[in-house]
Structure 1
């Protein structure tokens, strides 16, 4: 049995995240004990819109502690970010080939209030793996591991770093003629545009 690939629990992760999963491991190990780092995919995602890339960020509650374990990070509902995120996703993908096919699966994440970011991200991951028909067991760390013996993508899959995803192929995007192809955006972009063919792309 192969060693699980070590990943952070990310919000609607980029395509490269699922490339790492589909190509490199039979199971997933999510780090729930890492210190929550700012400006990463753990609380933000990128979607392709008519005006280019749009960042969607989940607000979190800020306590006095500078270092908070990922499993303890709480989502803030001081403003209605769920409605704004879902409206943005609908606007971006309503005309895509498969949005209507999948929208009822994603809508509950923007109606139900999760207390913890880790739980929100993990449940979304379970959904996306099911829709992509990628069968992987998901485990969670029981402690923080600095030096991992297997493949560790916690820091390499990052908004400000070059994608670890090297697939040169493009796929149809709704606004490609206007904005050009936008690589490595959220997996929902691939899923809503390619549907059942998404797994083959990965």
Structure 2
């Protein structure tokens, strides 16, 4: 896990954990590296949500045109499966009782159904939406080449799954009376449940003492 810093290096992420978005709130600059060799089974093409029964992982299927040497920037979205419909149904089941689901959901579904060819294009579109909704003003740029040395905090290897990204501040969730607060979920969870207050809530996340640089 990476620690708090004014300068962050991130991979291209689909719908990152709320804690990672909190880190972005406190950063002064974010650089996204899309020139890495694409690693499978990470937050680059998946996110975690809290459903009525369990925590679920939703995945955008992808195709590697150059096999194991494919860069993240070259990864293509696979539409052979109707994953946009599956994500829509699963998110609706999980969050239909959340107070702001109807306010935000159609914008998310529209991006899922926009037929982005490359994964990084979908991820960038969603990131812009999340940052706008949460009023995150941090400067974001894309690296021109693979970043080998970075004068800041490199979070690229900290994005294998969401378990490392633990919030200190809990918030309302529809099933919290059954399961308690379920941590490390996608930013979608806090947006659907807190709405416009999500950004203010994440700004309160200032405890990064336990996070170690990768």
- Matched residue count: 198
Q: Do structure 1's residue 74 and structure 2's residue 68 form an aligned pair?
A: no
Matches of 1:183 and 1:13, distance apart in 2 = 13
In structure 2, the partner of 1:7 is 10
Structure 2 Cα separation of the partners of residues 185 and 131 of structure 1: 17
Whole-angstrom distance in 2 between the partners of 1:14 and 1:8: 13
> Where does structure 2 lack aligned partners over 5 or more consecutive residues?
203-214
CA distance in 2, matches of 1:72, 1:58: 15
CA RMSD in angstroms comes to: 1.7
Matches of 1:185 and 1:73, distance apart in 2:
24
**Aligned 8 A contact 2:61 2:77 in 1:** yes
Is the Cα contact below 8 Å between 1:71 and 1:116 reproduced in 2?
A: yes
Match in the other structure for 1:93: 95
Residue matched to 1:134 = 136
- Using the alignment, how far apart are the partners of 1:107 and 1:123 within structure 2? 12
Structure 1 unmatched ranges of 5 or more: none
- Could you tell me how far apart the structure 2 residues matched to 1:190 and 1:64 are? 36
Deviation at 1:65, TM superposition (A): 2.4
Alpha-carbon distance in 2 for matches of 1:161, 1:86: 24
SS in 2 for 1:30: strand
4+ residue runs over 3 A deviation = none
2:184 is matched with which residue?
184
